[in-house]
């Protein structure tokens, strides 16, 4: 939903502003959503939580263990099921009709169906939190240390001389580049994760930077 700076501020003042955060898992979406909710009174909707509730998994680690790695037996079937779950959960979330709200989307929201994406595009101010080169290395490291479910969408490629985990490390930047393009096309504005996670910036600074420039 394209907005001018004035329209953004007016919607917020009228308690009608709807913000959706898109980007990779661990990029800072949840962190930013929580900060906005605390400082500015936004309702926070976490699509991952809706999915976990549907599945009955209490933690992200449980969800990740259920989905498995792209080389696991049955992964592709679980990936398809995961996208269906994300579509269902995101469909519920985007129909929210309360006051000011921030939507913490899944990293693979771009793989949900066109109807859902159209609802996002037409009804929400979409902010892409992008990954710098340094952030890509951090994301790869966190993927192994603190697994989150990840839809590879065909981007996992393993060479004959690679172990499965080595293939993940080389395939991950390719997945990220593909997603970055899709996030950018979906979003109304982009802000770097380096800015979002900059400890020198207050949430007031961040909120100002999330607004349209004109």
Domain ranges of the chain: 5-210
* Residue 59 reports pLDDT greater than 80: no
Dihedral sign from CA coordinates of 35, 121, 100, 107: negative
Q: What is the dihedral of CA 49, 1, 201, 184, to 10 degrees?
A: 80
First to last CA, the chain: 15
Q: What is the pLDDT of residue 119?
A: 94
Q: What is the pLDDT of residue 169?
A: 85
Structure tokens at 166: 């080595």
Q: What is the pLDDT of residue 53?
A: 85
CA 191 to chain centre: 13
Mean pLDDT of the chain: 91
Q: What is the pLDDT of residue 60?
A: 72
Q: What is the dihedral of CA 169, 174, 175, 180, to 10 degrees?
A: 130
Listed residue (56, 32, 60, 37) closest to 48, CA to CA: 60
Residue with tokens 């792209």: 70
Q: What is the pLDDT of residue 27?
A: 92
Give the max Cα distance, the chain. Answer: 59
Q: What is the pLDDT of residue 58?
A: 64
CA 116 to chain centre: 14
Express each pLDDT in 155-189 by its tens digit.
Answer: 999 999 999 989 988 898 899 899 999 999 999 99
Angle (nearest 5°) at CA 155 between 157 and 105 = 145
Listed residue (129, 122, 181) closest to 3, CA to CA: 122
Q: How confident is the model at residue 65 (pLDDT cuts 50, 70, 90)?
A: confident
Q: How confident is the model at residue 99 (pLDDT cuts 50, 70, 90)?
A: very high
Q: What is the pLDDT of residue 57?
A: 63
Rounded Cα distance between 45 and 50, Å, is 9
> Between 141 and 85, whose confidence is greater?
85
Q: What is the pLDDT of residue 106?
A: 93
Rounded Cα distance between 148 and 60, Å, is 6
Listed residue (126, 123, 152) closest to 25, CA to CA: 152
* CATH no. for 5-210: 3.40.50.300
Q: What is the pLDDT of residue 138?
A: 82
Express each pLDDT in 106-163 by its tens digit.
Answer: 999 999 999 999 999 999 999 999 988 788 888 878 777 776 778 999 999 999 999 9
Helices (H), ranges, 42-98: 47-55, 60-67, 75-94
């Amino acid at each position: 939903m394209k907005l001018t700076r004035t329209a953004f501020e007016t919607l917020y003042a009228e308690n009608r502003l709807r913000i959706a955060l898109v980007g990779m898992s661990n990029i800072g979406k949840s962190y930013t959503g929580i900060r906005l909710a605390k400082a500015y009174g936004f309702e926070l909707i976490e699509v991952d939580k809706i999915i976990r509730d549907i599945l009955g998994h209490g933690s992200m680690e449980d969800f990740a263990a259920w989905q498995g790695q792209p080389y696991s037996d049955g992964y592709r079937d679980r990936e398809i099921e995961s996208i269906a779950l994300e579509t269902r959960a995101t469909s519920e979330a985007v129909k929210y009709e309360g006051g000011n709200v921030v939507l913490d989307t899944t990293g693979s929201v771009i793989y949900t169906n066109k109807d859902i994406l159209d609802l996002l595009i037409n009804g929400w101010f979409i902010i892409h939190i992008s990954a710098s080169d340094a952030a890509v290395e951090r994301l790869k490291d966190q993927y192994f240390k603190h697994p989150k479910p990840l839809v590879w969408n065909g981007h996992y490629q393993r060479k004959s001389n690679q172990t499965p985990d080595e293939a993940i490390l080389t395939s991950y930047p390719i997945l990220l580049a593909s997603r970055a393009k899709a996030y950018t096309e979906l979003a109304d504005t982009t802000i770097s994760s380096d800015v979002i996670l900059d400890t020198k910036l207050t949430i007031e600074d961040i909120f100002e930077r999330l607004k349209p420039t004109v």
